[in-house]
Amino acid sequence: MYTNILIATDGSELGGKAVQHGITLAKRVGAKATVLTVLAPFHTFTIDTQMIEDTPARYKVRMQEHAEKTLGAAARAAQAADVACETVEVEHEHPYRAIIDAAESKGCDLIVMASHGRHGISAIVLGSVTVKVLTHCKTPVLVHR
């Protein structure tokens, strides 16, 4: 059915649940897991309080630590489930594009990702990475909520 499942995570609690679901699915169908986290590049002008409070160098270190923690937890979960796992970290302005590009370049035949389920104005202002992946991708997407 599936041979290589891309599991996209932002390191959030909901993202962690999607990772667990994706690894369980990979185990059941005998697929490899490719776990991806996308890091936003540093911007001098931003509304992201984490960037406002950081220097570019400190932001990069903090984001690297976050990526290592996120991907390390996913790799340990995959190892515990006896699922082959590759971890990938990418810096990209548009996370949805990085997810689609990674799925294509890694030969993934399914994308598993979480949806935070934002509604109303927050959905409009923040946008939805999941919706963008769904509308721009040819690879099947399983959305975990």
What CATH number corresponds to the domain at position 83? 3.40.50.620
Number of compact structural domains in the chain: 1
Position 122 scores a pLDDT of 53
What is the predicted pLDDT for the residue at 45?
A: 59
pLDDT of residue 145: 84
- pLDDT tens for each residue of 31-89: 999 999 999 888 665 555 665 666 888 888 989 999 999 999 999 999 999 999 999 99
Residue 25 neighbours by CB under 8 Å, 6+ apart: 2, 5, 31, 110, 112, 142
Q: ∠ CA 140-29-86 to the nearest 5 degrees?
A: 75
Predicted local confidence at residue 57, as pLDDT: 85
Query: Could you list the residue range(s) of the whole structural domain that residue 78 is in?
Result: 4-144
- pLDDT recorded at residue 117: 61
If residue 14 lies in a helix (H) or strand (E), which one and from where to where? helix 13-29
Q: Is the pLDDT of residue 20 over 70?
A: yes
Residue 48, C-beta contacts closer than 8 angstroms, at least 6 positions apart: 40
Question: Does the pLDDT value for residue 116 go beyond 90?
Answer: no
Arithmetic mean of pLDDT over the chain? 89
Sign of CA dihedral 140, 79, 59, 48: positive
139 confidence band (pLDDT: 50, 70, 90): very high
- pLDDT value, residue 72: 98
Q: Sorting pLDDT into bands at 50, 70 and 90, what band is 118? A: low
